[in-house]
Amino acid sequence: MRRRHRRRDRGFSLLIVFMLITVMIGVAATVILSTQQDLSVAGQDREAMQAFYAAEYGIAQAKDFLASALAAKGINAGNFVAGGGWTPILAQVSAAGVTQGCATGPTNASARMAWQALDGNTRWTFCIHNNSGDVAYLDPGGTTPAGCVGKSGDACDERDPLHLVTIEAWGASSTAQAHVAVDVGSVSLASAAWRQY
């Protein structure tokens, strides 16, 4: 009877050790996974910010581009409307290879300009348009300017009494992408509205 007991006891401590080791492996795996998650979240957050700032880089580049185009055409606040508003500027934008119209718009299916490298893993691009049918067109509703009903052209655009032009810019890093849209409401290029999404 006593001998049988001992035989049953044999291997007991080894069993306990195997159980302990299993628990330890479980703890180690949890700790490793948690650390990996910490590092991954920190990295993703950084990449998202870098993509956002790359998009902002695109917005600044677009403003610089528009300012140069206005200067080249001799357009200023005094002759802006008489000169046709944004129409000749947008034509110049198209001529320079920066596509007027944005790929995400419901009516403008044309592509935006090619991605430009910013740093090792970040890039930016932008497009410029005054298409009120585009989801990114932020022009608030207004009254149609006098004498402009049914007429086309930016200076007399009934959809655009404030003469806004929309810059859309995209930034991307290896794991994140950002999209920023800005309305530019005057030839001084001061932002009429900042609505980012």
Partner 1 sequence: MRAQRRARGTTLIEVMISMGLVLIGMLALFRVLVTSVTGSAAASHFTQAELRAETLVEAIRLAPAATLTCLSATASASWSTCGASYALATPTDRNGQRYVLDGGSHVTAGGTSGNFYDVTVVIGFSDDNYHTVAMRTGVYP
**83-89: which pairs have CB atoms within 8 A and are 24 or more residues apart?**
83/155, 84/153, 84/154, 84/155, 85/153, 85/154, 85/155, 85/156, 85/157, 85/163, 86/130, 86/154, 86/163, 86/165, 87/153, 87/154, 87/155, 89/165
> Going by C-beta distance under 8 Å and a sequence separation of 6 or more, which residues neighbour residue 87?
153, 154, 155
Q: 21, 95, 114, 117: which one contacts partner 1 (CB under 8 A)?
A: 21
Residues 47 and 62: their CA atoms lie apart, in Å, by: 23
Residues 20 and 133: their CA atoms lie apart, in Å, by: 66
Q: What's the min distance (Å) between Cβ of 149 and partner 1? A: 36
Q: What's the min distance (Å) between Cβ of 185 and partner 1? A: 15
Q: 138, 189, 192, 193: which one contacts partner 1 (CB under 8 A)?
A: 189
Q: Is 63 helix (H, G, I), strand (E, B) or coil?
A: helix
Binding-site string for partner 1 from residue 55 to residue 94, where x marks contact by CB under 8 A and - marks none: -xxxxxx-xxx-xx--x-----------------------
- The answer to whether residue 19 forms part of the interface with partner 1 (CB under 8 A) is no
Q: Where is 170: in which H helix or E strand?
A: strand 165-172
Q: What's the min distance (Å) between Cβ of 71 and partner 1? A: 7
Q: What's the min distance (Å) between Cβ of 145 and partner 1? A: 29
Residues 151 and 157: their CA atoms lie apart, in Å, by: 7
Using the minimum distance from each CB to partner 1, give the nearer residue, 58 or 83: 58
Site for partner 1 in 139-178 (CB under 8 A): none
Under a CB-based contact definition with an 8 Å cutoff, are residues 110 and 96 in contact? no
Using the minimum distance from each CB to partner 1, give the nearer residue, 59 or 155: 59
Site for partner 1 in 110-139 (CB under 8 A): 118-119, 122
> Interacting stretch for partner 1, rule CB under 8 A, among 7-15, 76-84, 109-117, 154-162?
7-15
Q: Give the interface with partner 1 as residue ranges (CB under 8 A).
A: 3, 6-7, 9-11, 13-14, 16-17, 20-21, 24-25, 27-28, 31-32, 34-36, 38-39, 41-43, 45-46, 49-50, 53-54, 56-61, 63-65, 67-68, 71, 118-119, 122, 189
